[in-house]
């Protein structure tokens, strides 16, 4: 491939329209949700989906994914099943959770409505 062709592909990838980025995000969310359905004990998919939700401004969904990833990491810790990838994913989940909770604290309107009594 020529340098001109490679540069063109790079610009096309980087300079996607908002609609193209949104479609890509939805596709990635579907794939990650499918991977979670296939391997619900794999914390990596929860972290990746949480990061994607965080990027999309879906802080409550991101928080839920990061919390689930940390629950799974705790189970690994108890069973001494740690590998390097799991340690990295745990750290990313902690960082993501801190970011998502910080965004929810700054903008209370982003919090999900739960346990509302009439």
CA 96, distance to chain mean position in Å, is 8
Does residue 93 belong to any structural domain of this protein? Answer: yes
Answer whether residue 2 is part of any domain: no
Q: What is the pLDDT of residues 51-84, one digit of tens each?
A: 999 999 999 999 999 999 999 998 886 666 667 8
Indicate the length of the chain as a whole number.
118
pLDDT digit string, tens, across residues 81-92: 667 888 899 999
List the domain range (segments joined by +) for residue 32: 17-108
Position 98 in a domain:
yes
The total domain count for the chain is 1
Output the CA angle 77-78-84, nearest 5 degrees: 20
CATH number at residue 57: 1.25.40
Q: How far apart are CA 19 and CA 82, in angstroms?
A: 40
Give the global pTM. 0.74
In a domain, 88, yes or no: yes
- The reply to whether 28 falls in a domain is yes
């Amino acid at each position: 491939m020529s340098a001109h062709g490679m540069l063109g592909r790079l610009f096309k990838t980087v300079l996607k329209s908002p609609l193209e980025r949104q479609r890509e995000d939805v596709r990635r969310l579907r794939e990650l949700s499918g991977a979670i359905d296939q391997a619900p004990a794999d914390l990596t998919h929860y972290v990746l989906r949480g990061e994607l939700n965080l990027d999309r401004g879906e802080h409550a969904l991101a928080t839920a994914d990061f919390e689930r990833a940390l629950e799974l990491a705790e189970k690994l810790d108890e069973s001494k099943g740690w590998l390097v990838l799991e340690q990295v994913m745990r750290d990313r989940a902690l960082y993501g959770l801190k970011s998502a909770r910080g965004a929810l604290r700054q903008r209370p309107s982003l919090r999900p409505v739960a346990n509302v009594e009439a």
